[in-house]
Amino acid sequence: MFKRLRRKFGGGGVDEFSTARPGGGPGGIPFDGPLIRLEGIAKTFMLDDVQTHALRDVDLEVERGEFVAVNGPSGSGKTTLLSICGLLEAPSSGTYVLNGHDVSSLKPSARAAARNREIGFIFQSFNLIGDLTVAENVELPLTYLGLPVAERRERVAEALARVDMSERAKQMPSQLSGGQQQRVAVARAVVGEPEIVLADEPTGNLNSHQAETVIELLRGLHESGATILLVTHDPRWQSTVQRAVELFDGTIVG
């Protein structure tokens, strides 16, 4: 499932940046280096004249298909690291090479385009849009990909079936339990078949049965080829995670 969209639409990028070309590398040259490479990444926030160094001098490489846990105490920079990897935020300094492309200083529009094509997010608080239906929420990432309506409908139906939420398509998020909302969020994260899925404490607000379902879904995604970065305190992930990165005070310590 994961490669279908890529085959069909690969190389037809509508903007200057595309990691979706066959082979992945710039100009069609196959790129077999790390999918994510961060070098000397720093992120400093300025709030009411107070500087916070959320990340300092972070180096990190993630290979295609890896399942990496990001650990560390509250405030250590885990969410900031995911936001930078996910192109939600630009680093203050340092270099980010995504799939062979330097994306450290992309213009916001190019960053948004790359994000929509390559990255799916799952948040602790689900972040569904309350006045859109389940199906409309899942369809959102596709609106940026320029797919025909029929193709979008088909892909939304597939994604909802995958998380066993087909019969809820027309409901509003507020009519669903937390576990169901998170399943919809998983569908939204994968509907565009992104190469990378970033999950920030995705089971943090779920009961143990709901959490189990979400863990199974992410395991399945990983098995179908997705590269996953996961922030979690939940020990149930242990058997799934291949490697753990430990953050402390904005620095990788292990």
Q: Which stretch binds ligand ADP (CB under 6 A): 76-84, 101-109, 168-176, 186-194?
A: 76-84
SS3 for 64?
A: coil
Contact residues for 148 (Cβ-Cβ < 8 A; gap 6+): none
Which of 54, 103, 160, 215 touches ligand ADP (CB under 6 A)?
Answer: 54
CA distance 42 to 192: 29
2 binds ligand ADP (CB under 6 A): no
80 binds ligand ADP (CB under 6 A): yes
Q: Which stretch binds ligand ADP (CB under 6 A): 72-80, 96-104, 152-160, 209-217?
A: 72-80
Looking at the Cβ atoms of 148 and 254, the one nearer to ligand ADP is 254
Q: Is 181 left (phi over 0), alpha (psi -120 to 50) or beta?
A: alpha
The residues binding Mg ion (CB under 5 A) are 78-79
75 binds, among ligand ADP, Mg ion, none (CB under 5 to 8 A by kind): ligand ADP
Looking at the Cβ atoms of 76 and 203, the one nearer to ligand ADP is 76
Strands (E), the chain: 36-47, 50-62, 67-71, 93-98, 101-102, 119-123, 196-200, 227-231, 243-248, 251-252
Looking at the Cβ atoms of 74 and 239, the one nearer to Mg ion is 74
